[in-house]
Amino acid sequence: MESQNHTEENRIRQQRRRTSMNTEQRQEYLTRRRASYQATRALRSREQQEQHLTEIRQQYHSQSTERRQELLSMRCTIYRRTQPTFGDDISTANQSTILPPQNEENSTSITIEHDNTSISRPPVIRRRRNNRNSARDFHESIGVTRSHLCAPTTCTFCGARLLPHESSDFCCLNGRVSLPLMPVPPELLSIYNDETEVGRHFRKYIRMYNHIFAFTSMGVHLDGDLANGIEGVYSFRAQGAIYHKIGGFLPSSSERPRFLQLYIYDTDNEINNRVTENPTLNVELVERLRSILDVHNPFVHRFRQLAQEPNIESCQLIIREQPRNRPQYNLPTASEVAAIIVGGEEAGQLNGRDIIVQSHSGHLMNVPDTAGYYDPLQYPLLLPCGTYGWDVNTQNGAASRTKVTCRDYYSYMLQIRDSWDNLLLRGCRLLQQYVVDIFLKMETQKFRWVRNNQSKIRAEMYNGLQDSFEAGINISGHVGRRIILPSSIVGCPRDMGERFQDAMRVVGYSGKPDLFITMTSNPSWDEIRDLLLPGQIPQDRPDLLSRVFHAKFEEFKDDIFDKGVLGKVVAYAYVIEFQKRGLPHAHMLLILGDDDKLNCPDVYNQVVKAEIPLQSDQPELYTCVLKHMIHGPCGTINPRSPCMQKGKCKKHFPKPFVPYTVQGNDCYPLYQRRDMGQVPLGRGRNVYVDNSWVVPYNPWLLLK
């Protein structure tokens, strides 16, 4: 009686609790109840199947020997007739209903022995009817077609090599942009292509060689941990803005000559002055580079002429911008790039971006990023002939003679063309510095336009004064001129707010995400190595890494969204980021359809694995897991690992062993990690790992 009253009280209490719930709480409660019901139902169904199979086996063993042989023959005949040729997989449960369970071996056929009678049957060949859910419950024996991009095509307008999912808009806007290609001195090209120790030394220290020949200095806050090249992959990452500065062409009495001054002051000891910047530089190589620039660079020609002036103290140097409306492209001459003013001569008419360099200057002048000489003054080893870079007057070489934007100009110049030896793509570490520099130049042009066109973007509609008060700025002296950034600026607060609201609306309409997937870039992809130039390694070509990753990611989206290898996707959201080592990676959230939801640990195990497979069972997957899905190792094995903070791994590795997958409480599931012993990691180190170091993965996607 008391138990009945207690049950009735619990029922009334639960009913009151459900009545007091709001819509979201009630929906979450019903979702948990459905998941619990489906898990219980699946467990009961599995128990009923096992009980039914036990009864069949008992009936089978109770028969006489003749009857057993007759049953075996009948079931084998039925099995051969119903074996699929291109149909569904044969599950383990269905196989056990055909014949009694026996000891399985790792052979290619299955043999059952009973009462001196041997019956052989062909191996079970798993085949998929279509791509739907092919990444679930995957085994290596099923097979998967490796992802390999199609051969690159060639743009019919500019001859650029295009990877899959790239069009002619990527290189020349379908022929609307046509620019002359930069000339390359053959003697400098031979240094870039040198496969000897001297060539490898030059490519490794190319930023330092460019630094000692540059005419301007660079002001940048550089992340030294990533740019040291000692540990991990070299990556040039700048924080904040980049400034190019130029000073006087004569040093003060207490300073040694640097940058532009090296071409003018104390030229007899020029080599020693340059090598003083870094003693590791090769003196003979420095002499070769100086002789090449003396022949081909017009800025060097002008500076050498200035060094011959007898009254150099009273001279001035005017560095001129690129002439407007040039009828055809020619290499700049010494008289065009700079002018020497002696004594009291007039400077003449100066353009807005011309720079006057004094003999002794007490301060450094900024080189405007809208001037054409911005690039050749800083990168003489990439632009040895003094080729002007982009400026506000750069025009299209086609008949239209229209102006070319900064992005379109550099997109055209950084392409791979079989008919042109592009020094920009051979710059290795200097290429990384160059692309970061021009990216910041493009961003600066964008922000400058927004600042000067506040009326066009209707900034008054943002109600800046009201925004200030909402942000807590209620002192009138603190409210100055505000530059409104529209949501078209990627990464600005309004852009991030809109993306967040869109994502929350998707979740509110379609439900919570079911899968969180990360796709990383692999520098060892064949498509990357096939396009590398002689002597290069993947980290020398950030353009290739990004372009190949983009093409691979498009195929990945085709597998996930169109083919539905993980199930029907009703909504998704993803973001592409760059790791600290410069490699792109994508984070993706998937919301699956109701028929493909992950509702219980058994379904989790079909999609996500967190164990090292047996080498004898799945050798290819075993190799891939050890190569790509092992964290670190860190901790006591490697205390200097980047993931270590205060003596602990911030990713919480190694993970604890779990005998079976468990649904977490409002968190990620605890995936199955059985203690199956340690295996050698390889990688040239005497390190052994177990399942506690495995990053969760999907076997189909990993092998793909």
Which tokens in the block code for residue 158? 């500019």
- The more confident residue out of 124 and 687 is 687
Locate the domains of the chain by residue range.
145-158+490-597, 186-404, 608-703
Q: Which amino acid is at 696?
A: P
Alpha-carbon gap, residue 60 to 52, rounded angstroms: 12
- The closest of 218, 183, 208 to 297, measured between CA atoms, is 183
Quick one: pLDDT at residue 320? 78
Quick one: pLDDT at residue 468? 56
Listed in sequence order, the DSSP H helices in 572-666 are 601-607, 619-628
Please determine, for residue 129, whether its predicted confidence score (pLDDT) is greater than 50. Answer: no
Q: How many whole angstroms from its chain centre is CA 542?
A: 10
pTM: 0.76
Please determine, for residue 478, whether its predicted confidence score (pLDDT) is greater than 60. Answer: no
Is the separation of the CB atoms in 434 and 424 below 8 Å? yes
CA distances from 52 to 47, 96, 97, 100, 607 (A): 9, 11, 10, 13, 28
φ, ψ dihedrals at 462, nearest 5°: -80, -10
Range with the poorest average pLDDT among 44-58, 244-258, 555-569, 644-658: 44-58
b (16+ CB within 10 A) / e for 223-246:
eeebbeeeeeebbbbbeeebebeb
Question: What is the mean pLDDT of the segment spanning 621-630?
Answer: 93
Range with the poorest average pLDDT among 35-44, 526-535, 642-651: 35-44
Question: What is the mean pLDDT of the segment spanning 117-142?
Answer: 64
Average pLDDT over the chain reads 80
Is the separation of the CB atoms in 581 and 151 below 8 Å? no
Listed in sequence order, the DSSP H helices in 319-369 are 334-337
Read off the pLDDT band of 472 (50, 70, 90). Answer: low
Alpha-carbon gap, residue 490 to 492, rounded angstroms: 6
- The more confident residue out of 348 and 636 is 636
Read off the pLDDT band of 327 (50, 70, 90). Answer: very low
Question: What is the mean pLDDT of the segment spanning 278-296?
Answer: 93
Which tokens in the block code for residue 316? 């001035």
CA distances from 520 to 155, 424, 458, 556, 576 (A): 29, 26, 40, 11, 10
DSSP letter for each residue of 30-47: HHHHHHHHHHHHHHHHHH
Overall residue count recorded for the chain in this entry: 704
Q: What is the pLDDT of residues 532-576, one digit of tens each?
A: 988 888 888 999 999 999 999 999 999 999 999 999 999 999 999
- The more confident residue out of 355 and 492 is 492
Count the helix, strand and coil residues of the chain and give each as a percent rounded to the nearest 5.
40, 15, 45
Which tokens in the block code for residue 167? 């069009």
Quick one: pLDDT at residue 224? 65
Question: What is the mean pLDDT of the segment spanning 268-281?
Answer: 88
Which tokens in the block code for residue 240? 């904040």
Please determine, for residue 97, whether its predicted confidence score (pLDDT) is greater than 70. Answer: no
Question: What is the mean pLDDT of the segment spanning 274-292?
Answer: 91
Q: What is the pLDDT of residues 210-220, one digit of tens each?
A: 999 999 988 88
Quick one: pLDDT at residue 605? 92
3-state secondary structure of 573: strand
Alpha-carbon gap, residue 305 to 130, rounded angstroms: 74
Q: What is the pLDDT of residues 70-94, one digit of tens each?
A: 766 666 665 554 444 433 443 343 3
Please determine, for residue 356, whether its predicted confidence score (pLDDT) is greater than 80. Answer: no
How far is the first Cα of the chain from the last one, in angstroms, to the nearest whole number? 62
- The more confident residue out of 297 and 87 is 297
- The closest of 670, 671, 668, 675 to 691, measured between CA atoms, is 675
